[in-house]
Structure 1
Amino acid sequence: MIEVAHLTKRYGAQTAVDDVSFRCTPGTVTGFLGPNGAGKSTTMRMICGLTPPTGGHATVAGRPYRQLPNPGREVGILLDASAQHPGRTGRETLALAAQLLRVPSSRVGELLTCVDLPSSAARKRVGDYSLGMRQRLGLAQALLGEPRALILDEPANGLDPEGIFWMRGLLRDFADRGGTVLLSSHLLREVEAVADRLVMIGNGRVVAQGAKDELLSGAGMRVRALDPAALRAALATAGLSASPADGGALLVDAEAEAVGRAAATAGVVLLELQPGRARGLEEMFLSLTNGTTAPEGTAR
């Protein structure tokens, strides 16, 4: 469980994060979205105890991150794959982390296999890794302590399409086994494919949050009749507002039962009655964050 309550961060007169609250529950992947400069990375750094908040608080497994006795056993973190020591090999990086987390050394080999880093790559120095290889190593390090939660900032950067598909399966499997995932990414279609819940921020404030299917569902009902004019008259008589849609249909801001009753009362034969067109995540993202991109250099 990850809980964020009224997190706020100010740098002088500039507010990077403003009263952000949300919850990530076990068994779910939460997509944390927003344009550059929206405050995503700053929020994640506050959750992980790297940036002190100006106000509010965040907990992981019921405690502030800094109060966890062995944090890596509770939450795996990947905020910057490029922050790994370039002089160590991939295997040395995980072996050292295993000692710090007090987990069996056998986990090193297991995780290298899990993230598909072969022995030849594990023997190379991290400074010679591609960004995609560093992301895989970072995910291995995040999973090393068998945590119950993952906090990942842009983990798909540098991965090829096959790698992105692999990562999606890895995160989905982690959540399906009862884990909690907080995932920030600019790859909206990948977030849409794997997330259960969405939290979207702009200019440091939450602009939308909730279950993905609810946020992306279309409003009202799409209805089409044998006699379009009679349908419009029937809806107007029932006090239901409608707007034109493609194919001669109407979008009605009402429940299916109300639309059906209005048509039945007027004796109108319906050819179609179904939920309105669902929005894609990209469409929702653009509509909610339009004009919220911060100037270059503003904290993320």
Structure 2
Amino acid sequence: MITVEHLSKRYGSHPAVDDVSFTCEPGTVTGFLGPNGAGKSTTMRMICGLTPPTSGTATVDGQPYKRMGNPGRRIGVLLDASAQHSGRTGREVLTLAALTMGIDRRRVDESLDRVGLNKTAAKRRVKAYSLGMRQRLGLAYALLGDPGILVLDEPANGLDPEGIFWMRGLLRDFADRGGTVLLSSHLLREVEAVADKLVVIGGGRIVAEGDKNELLAASGTVVRALDMGALDMVLQRVGLTGTKTTDGGVVVQADAEVIGRAAADAGLVLLELRPAGGGGLEQMFLTLTAGDSVKEAVR
């Protein structure tokens, strides 16, 4: 189990992470979502002891990562697939990890096979690996110690569609066997397919957290009018704001009845009025993080 409580990180006057709290429980995949620069990677680095928090705590099974004895046997981490010695072969990378963790070296070949790296790939130096192969090697490293927890930052980056489908099945199976997964990804449809719980961060703060299905069901109402300018004025008149969708409508955080009555009173012709849940995770994400910068924060 991962527990994050009132976690904050400041770089000078910039609050990269601001009072973030959430939990990741056994048997679940938690999707950790947010725009670039929202604080996802910083939060994950604090969980794994790589970045000291300004305040708050992050624990793994009740312990800070830095106090864990032989952490690789309890938590598998993949934060940067390129953070591997480019001059070593894939097998050498995992063999050294096995020696460090005190694991039987026979587990190396098992781990390589588990992530789809064959004997030829295992003998190749990491500098000759594609990004997708490095992702697979990084995942093999994370799984090597047979941990009960995985923390993965963009693990599907560089994988082809078949590889993404494979990873989805691997993570789902890991959680179904009682494992805990914290997964950050920009591939929203893949997160929607595999996650049980969602944590959405924007501007360093949690903007939504909870069961995936409940969050999707409560993500507002999609409305489209014959005259979108008039619709905007009607919404402002009743104290509501809308977030533009990719197909020309708006999502409003209000019941369909409230919007429909306001439109009817104004004589406005509506072309669409429905729950936003049908738009899936992508629409919910855009609604919750509206106004956040899409540019990576510079620190």
Give TM-score, length-normalised by structure 1.
0.81
Over 3 Å counting, the alpha-carbon distance change for 1:214 and 1:99 in structure 2 is same
User: Which structure 2 residues correspond to residues 1-300 of structure 1 after superposition, within 5 A?
Assistant: 1-218=1-218, 241=257, 243-244=259-260, 277-293=277-293, 295-298=295-298
Alpha-carbon separation, structure 1, partners of 2:9 and 2:219 = 35
**How much does 1:298 deviate?**
2.8
* 2:219–2:284 contact (8 Å) kept in structure 1: no
Alpha-carbon separation, structure 2, partners of 1:37 and 1:220 = 25
* 1:202–1:293 contact (8 Å) kept in structure 2: no
Over 3 Å counting, the alpha-carbon distance change for 1:140 and 1:36 in structure 2 is same
Over 3 Å counting, the alpha-carbon distance change for 1:154 and 1:199 in structure 2 is same
- Residue in 1 that maps onto 2:252: none
Over 3 Å counting, the alpha-carbon distance change for 1:64 and 1:119 in structure 2 is same
* 1:218–1:278 contact (8 Å) kept in structure 2: no
Specify every segment of 5 or more residues in structure 1 that has no aligned partner in the other structure, as ranges. 222-239, 252-274
When structure 1 is superposed on structure 2, of 290-299 and 141-150 the one drifting more is: 290-299
**How much does 1:96 deviate?**
0.5
Cα displacement string for residues 2-52 of structure 1 (whole angstroms, at most 9, x for unaligned residues): 000000000111110000000000000000000000000000000000000
Over 3 Å counting, the alpha-carbon distance change for 1:277 and 1:137 in structure 2 is closer
Cα displacement string for residues 163-198 of structure 1 (whole angstroms, at most 9, x for unaligned residues): 000000000000000000000000000000000000
* 1:217–1:279 contact (8 Å) kept in structure 2: no
Over 3 Å counting, the alpha-carbon distance change for 1:17 and 1:118 in structure 2 is same
**How much does 1:277 deviate?**
4.9
2:37 is matched by which residue type in structure 1?
G
| Secondary structure at 1:36 match in 2 | coil
How many residue pairs end up in the alignment?
A: 258
Cα displacement string for residues 277-299 of structure 1 (whole angstroms, at most 9, x for unaligned residues): 54410000000101112644435
Alpha-carbon separation, structure 2, partners of 1:200 and 1:277 = 16
* 2:78–2:138 contact (8 Å) kept in structure 1: yes
| Secondary structure at 1:285 match in 2 | helix
2:55 is matched by which residue type in structure 1?
G
* 1:171–1:181 contact (8 Å) kept in structure 2: yes
* 2:142–2:150 contact (8 Å) kept in structure 1: yes
Alpha-carbon separation, structure 2, partners of 1:277 and 1:77 = 32
1:99 is matched by which residue type in structure 2?
L
* 1:4–1:58 contact (8 Å) kept in structure 2: yes
1:217 is matched by which residue type in structure 2?
A
Structure possessing the higher radius of gyration over alpha carbons: 1
- Residue in 1 that maps onto 2:251: none
1:113 is matched by which residue type in structure 2?
D
Specify every segment of 5 or more residues in structure 2 that has no aligned partner in the other structure, as ranges. 222-255, 262-269
| Secondary structure at 1:281 match in 2 | helix
Alpha-carbon separation, structure 2, partners of 1:182 and 1:69 = 21
Give TM-score, length-normalised by structure 2.
0.81
Over 3 Å counting, the alpha-carbon distance change for 1:248 and 1:200 in structure 2 is closer
Over 3 Å counting, the alpha-carbon distance change for 1:289 and 1:248 in structure 2 is closer
